[in-house]
Amino acid sequence: MNRNFALTLTAKFLLAVATMPGAWAQDERLELDWAFSDDGKNAMALPRASWLNNRTVVLYENTEPKIERTLERFDPNTGRRRNLVDAARAISDMTEILEPDEPLEELGWPDAFGPNGRRALYQKSGDILLLDLNTSTVSAIAHTDADESSAQFSPDGQSLAFVRDNDIYVWNIADEEETRLTTDGSDTRLNGTVSWVYWEELLNRADRGYEWAPDSSAIAYLQSDEAGVGEMHYVDFEPYLPKLIKQRHPKPGEANPKVRAGVVQLDNAETTWVDLGGTLYEYLARIQWLPDSKRIAVQIMNRPQTKLDIFLVDADSGDAAHLIREQNAGWVNVHDDLYFLKDDKFLWRSERDGYAHLYMFNADGTLSHPVTSGNWALRASGGAPGMSQAISFVDEHSEIVYFTALEKATTERHLYRVGFDGGDMQRITQTDGVHSIRFGPTGDAFIDRSSALDRPPTLIVQRSNGDDTHLIEDTGSEIPNRFDLQPWELFSIDARDGFNMPAMMLKPRFFDASKQYPVVTYVYGGPSAPTVSNGWQGGGRGYYHQLLADNGAIVFLVDNRSAAGKSKIDANTIAKQLYGPVEMNDLLDGITWLKSQPYVDPDRVGIWGWSGGGSMTLQAMTSSGEFAAGASVAPVSDWRYYDTIYTERYMGRPQDNEEGYDASSNTARAADLQGRLMLIHGTYDDNVHPQNSWAFSDGLIEAGITFDMMIYPMRKHGISDDAAQLHVFKSMLEFWQKNLALGD
């Protein structure tokens, strides 16, 4: 399906035209059943997109019927788009290999593409499948009874590595032979894959704990010892006799997995362990090869996460030399913006001046000069799975670095270029909004996935010099006009000390400023995790907020100073008191402004959030009387119940900050709850454990406070299956209709 529109017809113009009399029948109402259906979730979805190394773009269109979805090739030089794969043939091969209980519904997006552009890799049902992009045939590698995972192509495309039973293997594609590189994997010793807490808090939910050498001769990997890590337990009720599921999960103040790094050569399967000369560390945050394939960079952190050290390690001997130290009074943010040049100088993102900026360092680790500067911050955009990169591309020949940042506004993300010397910085993306960037292999063009509050998502390919744009797809105005979606307003509110907080508001259809309306406030509130954005508000949550407006409610969002992401200075204000007085004062200042508006009914203001937003909801309702009702989904009710890395980054260990943990405990304040609460949790939430909701509800019971509760059996943190997602949002809608009198 090709829904291209002329670039000159911007989405904003289309929206204006479509709302003219007679432009569209404005009589269809948005329904949650549609919003959470496959049609609804994909109605305004852009294609998945990635570069192949032959400088073409591969696409996967989600708006087609599932069985018809296939990989497509887009030529950025001509703008032509055509099918790349015969999906029916590929699905037939997959079905024969996997023998699934139910027919495969669609081909799906691959987990990786080979560097030579000939193959794609799928990981399904514990098997690794290779799709030949030329013939549309699928083959399995090492088709065994054990699960294979964490697969990655070698840089030369001749092999791929994977993990089986916590050991690393390499598969030679041409010879169809496997080589085992490690032999000591066990239930508690993990080679090449990572412990849950690393997966969740350090590697951006990527399970691969290894990196190929650029010349494909060796693999650097992490080995994790989980034997000393405490276990969480969940009850699987589905068998006739329920069974326990165990998970290694370190609670704050308790033992972490012990992690070390090694380099294994493919020719002899021998590991050389990294020797840091007795340097003590708690976390091994990153391993990265240098371009020469002879050295790796290793990043380690202390337990408080206030110091990060980078060592250069000889791959043959394991000997290490200290390169630089990054430290911060609050905490150091882990990222992937470490780029080594061919002359051994390197670019590094640092928050040493209070803002995230790029710096050039000499080969010996001494600072050469800042490359970017100012009262704004770099912000990661796109990149490979598990990566947090603001550096989009480095052109060493021209001495130019491309990066994404919040320079224009904290609510927008744009692509910039700057010289290695820090001169001639230019913004490349000119349309307002949020841009996600992915450069091609040679750096002469990039994919730009962007949107704004008044501009539905578009996908383009653009030359890196800003010229010669090809539109791949524009989601257009059909859905906004079909359901008469209401416009969001973007503005700011001053906190009590003058801090400028980003905010946004959605008003009901046929809004009348002389009337008073109920309000539903959506929150998250975590450090550098904004909710306010000049980006399209689509998907399930976006449609849900539109449905609230259809039911006569105003929807309101405001970001506290730590969440807004402007500076490390602002983020550090919450150190040792996560979801404490700083965030709460900012939120309440926003609510004070809100209630001062003549069109707001101050007695019908609600609040809701998920995960950290669920925590913020409990905090708001137990420390103020500003909210008539609140819905808290999967909240942390006491930071002692969460994990080491995230919690201690902001709070320290409980034994070192008992006062801070006590002050931030929502469970301890359960008896102070004001307003009607709906508490929602999945029983198999292996991220924010259900004990959080059990503990808080127990406190309410002890205090004699009645509340609503919705439990989702065997659902994890996202409660993500279609039926459960729909049920969550329907339940919350009914809750608001009852407790905020929506529609009255």
Summarize pLDDT for 163-184 with one digit per residue, the tens: 999 999 999 999 999 999 999 9
Least confident range from 58-72, 623-637, 664-678: namely 58-72
Q: For residue 532, what is the domain's CATH number?
A: 3.40.50.1820
* Within-domain flag for 252: no
**Whole-angstrom Cα distance, residue 672 to residue 500?**
30
- Where would I find the beta strands (DSSP E) of 28-126? 48-51, 57-60, 71-74, 81-83, 112-113, 119-124
Q: What is the pLDDT of residue 77?
A: 86
Q: Do 655 and 685 contact (CB within 8 A), yes or no? A: no
DSSP annotation of 270 reads -
Per-residue pLDDT tens over the stretch 423-440 = 999 999 999 999 999 999
**C-alpha 625, offset from chain centre:** 33
Name the DSSP letter for residue 526.
-
At residue 261 the predicted structure's pLDDT band, cuts being 50, 70 and 90, is very high
Statement: residue 8 has pLDDT above 80: no
What is residue 661's three-state secondary structure? helix
Q: For residue range 80-127, what is the model confidence (pLDDT) as tens digits?
A: 999 999 999 999 999 999 999 889 999 999 999 999 899 999 999 999
Distance between CA atoms of residues 49 and 415, nearest Å:
18
Instruction: Assess if residue 229 is contained within a domain.
Output: no
**Which residues pair with residue 161 across a beta bridge?**
152, 170
Residue 556, Cβ neighbours under 10 Å: how many?
25
Q: Stretch 266-271: mean pLDDT, rounded?
A: 97
Question: Is residue 65 scored above 70 in pLDDT?
Answer: yes
Q: Label residue 708 exposed, middle or buried (CB < 10 Å: 0-12, 13-18, 19+).
A: middle
Taking residues 726-731, what's their average pLDDT?
98
Residue 47 belongs to a domain:
no
Asked, for residue 461, whether it belongs to a domain, the answer is no
| Spatial contact of 46 and 459, defined as CB atoms under 8 Å apart | yes
Residue 537 included in any domain? yes
Q: How far apart are CA 501 and CA 582, in angstroms?
A: 13
**Residue 82: φ, ψ to 5°:** -150, 160
Cα separation, 728 vs 356, whole angstroms: 37
Q: What share of the chain is helix, strand, coil (3-state, %, to 5)?
A: 20, 35, 45
- SS3 label, residue 659: helix
Number of domains forming the structure of the chain: 1
> What's the CA gap between 62 and 741, in Å, rounded?
38
Average pLDDT over residues 546-551: 97
Residue with tokens 């809701």: 608
pLDDT at 385: 56
Cα 271 versus chain centre, distance: 33
Region 524-550 average pLDDT:
96
Percentage of residues in the chain having pLDDT higher than 90: 90
Domain membership flag for residue 572: yes
Confirm whether 498 is domain-assigned: yes
Q: Residue 533 sits in which domain range? A: 478-739
In a domain, residue 630? The reply is: yes
